[in-house]
Amino acid sequence: MHYLEQIDEFKRFRQSLIDNSSDGKPCIVIGAGTCGQASGSNDLIRIIKRQILEQGLHNKISLRITGCLGFCEMSPFIVIEPGHNLYPKLRMENIPQIIDAALEDRVIEELLYTEPGSYTKCYTQQEIPFFKGQTRTILGQNQRLDPIRIVDYVKTGGYASLIKVLENPDPDWIIKEVLESKIRGRGGAGFPTGKKWEFARKSYDKTGQKFIVCNADEGDPGAYMDRSLLEGNPHTVLEGMFIAAIAIGAGNGIIYVRSEYPLAIKHSLIAIRQARDLGILGKNILGSGIDFDIEIFQGAGAFVCGEETALIKSIEGKMGEPRQRPPYPILKGIQGHPTCINNVETLANIPQIISKGAAEYAKIGTINNTGTKIFSLVGKIKNTGLVEVSLGTPISKVVYEIGGGPVGKAKIKAIQTGGPSGGCIPASMFDLPLDYDILTEVGSIMGSGGMIVMDENTCMVDVAKFFMNFLKDESCGKCFTCRKGTQRMYEILDNITRGKGTLAELELLEELAHVVKDTTMCGLGQTAANPVLSTLRYFRNEYEEHIVDKKCTAFVCKDLVGVLCQAACPLDTEPWRYIALIEKGEYEEAYKVIREANPLPSVCARICDRKCEQRCSLITSGGEPIAIRALKRFIADRVDPLIYRPERVVRDTEDVHEVAVIGAGPAGLSAAHYLSLSGYRVTIFEAEKEPGGMLITSIPAYRMPKNVVRRDIELLIDENIILKCQTVLGRDITIDSLFTDGFKAIFLAIGAHESRRLDIEGEDVEGIYQSIEFLKAFNLMGEELARGYVGIIGGGNSAVDAARVALRQKKVEKVTLFYRRTRQEMPAYEEEIEAALEEGVELELLVSPVKIYSKNKYLVAFECIRNKLGEMDSSGRRRPITVPGTEFKILVATLIVAIGERPQSNFLKSMGIEIDKSGRVNVDIETFQTHHPGVFAGGDLVTGPNTVVDAIAAGKKAALIIDRFIQEKELGEPPKVKLPEVLLEPAVVSDEELEQAKRTVPPILSVELRHNNFEEVEKTLSVDEAKQEARRCLRCDLEFIQHKNGSTIEYETVGEKQA
């Protein structure tokens, strides 16, 4: 490369580069920015290079090592040009076949990107939803060039804007272009760049010295777009700076970059050196008579140094502290000389504006928010990475389309934009466009473009606390209000997350936040209160929940949650405790722990939905949760239930009152049991011929044998409980008649037994059954209603149950489940779906029934229409949208409708009980009281279809409340956090054992043996398996016990013990 002295020489140089370029052969593009290198791209590069060398492929394939390409979630990935086939998350062993395929112009199907939840492969980069929705005018360049090769940049059109400017070095023209492009500063506040330049142009001091500074002091937690630009395309930033320098008349440029960005510094240094060597920086550049040079200044990493006055002090070598503006840096900056400070991304946009022209640039985005903005999308979202969209794009598009929506089942709750100085925007406002003004209006800021996605497992108080912790460290400390204010806000937030906050403190917090915002000098302090103010604005309920109810629904605040598995259980069971007891072999003790909390242990050991496992700490540390239900089953199957003798309250005869419980399902039975223990006499009225409710009528025997349910129930019915079956409320008894008969209180728990209807024409023909009706007929009467080809409509547990039951009936040929969304959205338990598929049930996804065909009142077929997934609905799942013209007919003999249930409760209205549209009884959520005094309700009747464990919890709570009601005490109870109180010595587990330990899967009956019978599929764990599983437990309880005893117990770590 030789020194270029004339503009024409540069043009010839570029032309020669283009002429000599070896386009046409395939090119391997690999992103090796900091993020790429962290995920292993260096290893891949090594392998690629070796293969090219060893096989002599120089002339057949090329390799381009670029900066960050944005799709960090899938790193390390490779794009093969010219086809733009993207292979995500590669390992070293994949490389040879990729190179082979690229040479032969083939695509390796199995390595291509597949959108999670669908099975369609994306052949090119542009087909991937993450890239499809973006406008990558700035970031897109990263892919086309190797940042340490200036020739790459020049070849792809780099420095063309600079040449344009050098040929016509008229500052007024440049400023006019920038003004007309309406670009606003990308650093956060959004001040029009053109205006800033105009001021800077006019500002002079005696020496005539002026500075242009590129602010790359990016310090927001979770934001890294400036880093990626400097790493991936440093020349474009240099070019932008140069143009700015010509516009404002500056002779010196400084890139202020934090020293934590070594790769960005390295690449910028290389770029500056190359530009100097080529004659683009230095004296008399390309013969134009213009002198300009750039140097790099490394900041020590203080967040506040991103503020322009602090940044100037830092460059001057002083302590990074902001000062009063005015005077603005434009007038008095570095050493008193006029200084214009622009953000990296702003400067990267400048060459675009000059080359395209202002008018063309202004077409991107909206009227006052032109151009694109890069966001770093992080947090609880599928596709983390850098996203560049035109301003004005709705938030929802970024979050759901480009970002791919939530990671797990938890719904997205809010996004946080603008880093610590920004604010939160709740999901209900995701329709808003991303632009400077709107974000400010809703209490957040654009900031530098950090976007942190938060879901239901994020506690907003904790988020505010996190940012406040950051700010109290990063405040420079000069202004008393900022320094002390952030400390005090942190103190109050910390109190709240520990359950020690008061409502008065919350008020004080808000008051203080406003004062801090008002009275602080610099941008950091003025926005330091934003995390508090914006979370208070949209999530005040969470603060109040922490303070009043002492609850953290996101399960984040330790002191309010306690041990996670215990906190997750509606029954407050202590899984950690019985797991520890299993490990010690104390099975009877373990049984007592289970039984004390749960009156139906064998039932829950089989069909509980395992909320505890979903919260297990092992998941957060990247492992698989403890098989808590299987361990419970191990105990429930092994220990004689009679060893548990509950404590009973003995009451005087005149104090013993009668309570009526309607419905002998899990809720009713639990209520009756605990009322009996409290010394009351209970009569349970049950409509069916035996107790158990849904447990008997609809849970199939292969999941839970009938004798198990019956035994659990038998054990509950003691001498204080009278069970009256086939007695129906509304037919045999009424609420008034019960009160007349002397009952003091009534607990309604009749469940939800009415199936929802499809509401399509011809639904009432023979051969169509509601799932409840179908299951009940079989479970109670042994009637087999299904025959021939059976279609099941629905995707919930009862649909899967119906499918598996139907498959076991004699006259059935084939069973297919028809569901309107994809398998990912199916509400049924994953293992149930899996088992159904194993047994031969087929799945037809994304279809909805539209029409029924019948002959002589008998079903013969039904018509379906295909769906595609659309926008997110209120449940956080994507809404199915029918695709017209895709109708098709299926010949079926039986159709089972399982699209949900509702309580059969209309008759209750006449007895003075209020019910809502969905048939649920209206109660006070705290006290279960209906509007009829003395009448309480709980279980599915109140919540709609729900899990067995929630029903038991409702019964348990109802018993407590009814006791208080009869004793004429206050019904509500002050909230209480339940922390572990028993110390159980932890097992000594070696590191190797921990590493090798895997979640134990209970043995299951093989598929062949399940044919046409109802034998229980899942079996009990063996003693060894159970012990092994129990040893995996992290024993979160110990943290609290230690805490309680004032850290007096100290456990040796395993490593020490071994040594």
Partner 1 sequence: MINLTINGLDVSVEEGTTVLEAARFFGFPIPTLCHNDGLTPLGACRLCVVEIGEEPGTNLVSSCTYPAEEGLKVRTASERVIRSRKMILELLLASCPQSKIIQDLAAAHNVKTQRFKQEYEDCILCGLCVRMCTEQMMAKAIGFSGRGENRRIGTPFDIKSDVCRLCGACMYICPACQLRCTYTEPEKAICGACANLSPPCLEKEGFNDMMCYMSPCVACEIKKD
Closest distance to partner 1 from the beta carbon of 489 (Å): 10
Q: What is the largest CA-CA distance in the chain?
A: 110
User: Which of 148, 160, 269, 319 is in the footprint of partner 1 by CB under 8 A?
Assistant: 319
In the complex with partner 1, the residue whose CB is nearer, 469 or 1028, is 469
How far apart CA 706 and CA 698 sit, in angstroms, is: 11
User: Which of 193, 481, 779, 809 is in the footprint of partner 1 by CB under 8 A?
Assistant: 481
Element (H, E) at 353: helix 344-356
- Give the type of residue at 273: R
Residues contacting partner 1: total by CB under 8 A: 36
491 binds partner 1 (CB under 8 A): yes
User: Which of 477, 705, 788, 944 is in the footprint of partner 1 by CB under 8 A?
Assistant: 477
Closest distance to partner 1 from the beta carbon of 420 (Å): 12
510 binds partner 1 (CB under 8 A): no
196 binds partner 1 (CB under 8 A): no
336 binds partner 1 (CB under 8 A): no
508 binds partner 1 (CB under 8 A): yes
In the complex with partner 1, the residue whose CB is nearer, 89 or 325, is 325
498 binds partner 1 (CB under 8 A): no
DSSP codes joined into one string, 385-442: EEEEEETT-BHHIIIIIIS-S-SSSSPEEEEEESGGGSEEEEGGGTTSB--HHHHHHT
How far apart CA 780 and CA 797 sit, in angstroms, is: 19
473 binds partner 1 (CB under 8 A): yes
Closest distance to partner 1 from the beta carbon of 304 (Å): 7
Tally the C-alpha atoms within 13 A of residue 168's C-alpha that lie toward its C-beta.
9
- Give the type of residue at 215: N
Closest distance to partner 1 from the beta carbon of 509 (Å): 10
DSSP codes joined into one string, 634-646: HHHHHS-GGG---
441 binds partner 1 (CB under 8 A): no
Of the candidate spans 102-110, 207-215, 506-514, 854-862, the one that interacts with partner 1 by CB under 8 A turns out to be 506-514
In the complex with partner 1, the residue whose CB is nearer, 197 or 490, is 490
Q: What are phi and psi of 171, to 5 degrees?
A: -55, -40
In whole angstroms, what separates CA 383 from the centre of its chain? 11
479 binds partner 1 (CB under 8 A): yes
How far apart CA 1054 and CA 990 sit, in angstroms, is: 6
How far apart CA 94 and CA 98 sit, in angstroms, is: 6
Closest distance to partner 1 from the beta carbon of 486 (Å): 8
Pairing state between β 858-872 and 372-379 = unpaired
User: Which of 342, 475, 943, 1000 is in the footprint of partner 1 by CB under 8 A?
Assistant: 475
CA distance to 184, 473, 624, per residue, from 203 (Å): 20, 36, 63
484 binds partner 1 (CB under 8 A): yes
User: Which of 14, 155, 313, 483 is in the footprint of partner 1 by CB under 8 A?
Assistant: 483
- Residue the block writes with tokens 């460290």: 473
Of the candidate spans 99-107, 347-355, 502-510, 949-957, the one that interacts with partner 1 by CB under 8 A turns out to be 502-510
Q: What are phi and psi of 377, to 5 degrees?
A: -90, 110
In the complex with partner 1, the residue whose CB is nearer, 147 or 299, is 299
530 binds partner 1 (CB under 8 A): no
472 binds partner 1 (CB under 8 A): yes
Of the candidate spans 265-273, 349-357, 512-520, 534-542, the one that interacts with partner 1 by CB under 8 A turns out to be 512-520
529 binds partner 1 (CB under 8 A): no
Of the candidate spans 26-34, 39-47, 315-323, 1003-1011, the one that interacts with partner 1 by CB under 8 A turns out to be 315-323
- As a whole number of Å, the end-to-end CA separation of the chain is 61
488 binds partner 1 (CB under 8 A): yes
95 binds partner 1 (CB under 8 A): no
Pairing state between β 78-81 and 27-31 = antiparallel
Q: Describe the crossing of helices 797-807 and 830-839 by its angle, rounded to 10 degrees.
A: 20
Element (H, E) at 855: strand 847-855
Token pair for residue 572? Answer: 């407050």
In the complex with partner 1, the residue whose CB is nearer, 338 or 663, is 338
In the complex with partner 1, the residue whose CB is nearer, 284 or 335, is 335
> Dihedral of CA 296/297/301/303: which sign?
negative
Closest distance to partner 1 from the beta carbon of 543 (Å): 17
Of the candidate spans 110-118, 120-128, 375-383, 503-511, the one that interacts with partner 1 by CB under 8 A turns out to be 503-511
In whole angstroms, what separates CA 597 from the centre of its chain? 31
In whole angstroms, what separates CA 265 from the centre of its chain? 33
Say if CB 679 and CB 651 are below 8 A apart.
yes
527 binds partner 1 (CB under 8 A): no
DSSP codes joined into one string, 556-624: --HHHH-SHHHHH-TT---HHHHHHHHHHT-HHHHHHHHHHH-S-HHHHHHH---HHHHH-HHHHTTSP
Of the candidate spans 36-44, 486-494, 838-846, 1001-1009, the one that interacts with partner 1 by CB under 8 A turns out to be 486-494
DSSP-based three-state secondary structure for 134: coil
Of the candidate spans 159-167, 515-523, 684-692, 766-774, the one that interacts with partner 1 by CB under 8 A turns out to be 515-523
871 binds partner 1 (CB under 8 A): no
Alpha helices (runs of H) in 664-795, residue ranges in sequence order: 666-677, 694-697, 706-716, 735-740, 771-776
In the complex with partner 1, the residue whose CB is nearer, 527 or 1000, is 527
User: Which of 173, 204, 480, 858 is in the footprint of partner 1 by CB under 8 A?
Assistant: 480
Query: 246-285 mask for partner 1 (x: CB under 8 A)?
Result: ----------------------------------------
Pairing state between β 788-793 and 894-897 = parallel
512 binds partner 1 (CB under 8 A): yes
In the complex with partner 1, the residue whose CB is nearer, 505 or 773, is 505
Of the candidate spans 316-324, 627-635, 961-969, 975-983, the one that interacts with partner 1 by CB under 8 A turns out to be 316-324
Residues that bind partner 1 (CB under 8 A): 302, 304, 319-320, 323-324, 326-327, 471-481, 483-488, 491, 504-505, 508, 511-512, 515, 518-521
